[in-house]
Amino acid sequence: MAQRLLVLACLIWAAIPLRLSGGCPRPASPCEELAKADQVFIAEVLDATSFPRIDEQGRPYPDGITNYRFNVLEGLKGVNTGEFRAQFYFGVGQDLDSFRPGGRYLIFANRSITGIYKSGCSLTREITKTGEREWLPPMREELRLCLKRP
The per-residue pLDDT for range 93-134, each reduced to its tens digit, is 665 678 999 999 999 999 999 999 988 888 999 998 888 888
The predicted pLDDT at position 54 comes to 83
E strands, the chain, are: 39-54, 60-77, 82-90, 104-111, 117-118, 125-126
pLDDT band for position 7 (cuts 50, 70, 90): very low
Contact 37, 109 (CB under 8 A): yes
The domains found in the chain, sorted by start residue, are 27-148 (2.40.50.120)
pTM of the model: 0.77
Q: pLDDT digit string (tens) for 77-87? A: 999 999 999 99
What contacts 89, CB < 8 A, 6 or more positions away?
63, 64, 65, 66, 96, 97, 112, 116, 117, 118
pLDDT band for position 17 (cuts 50, 70, 90): very low
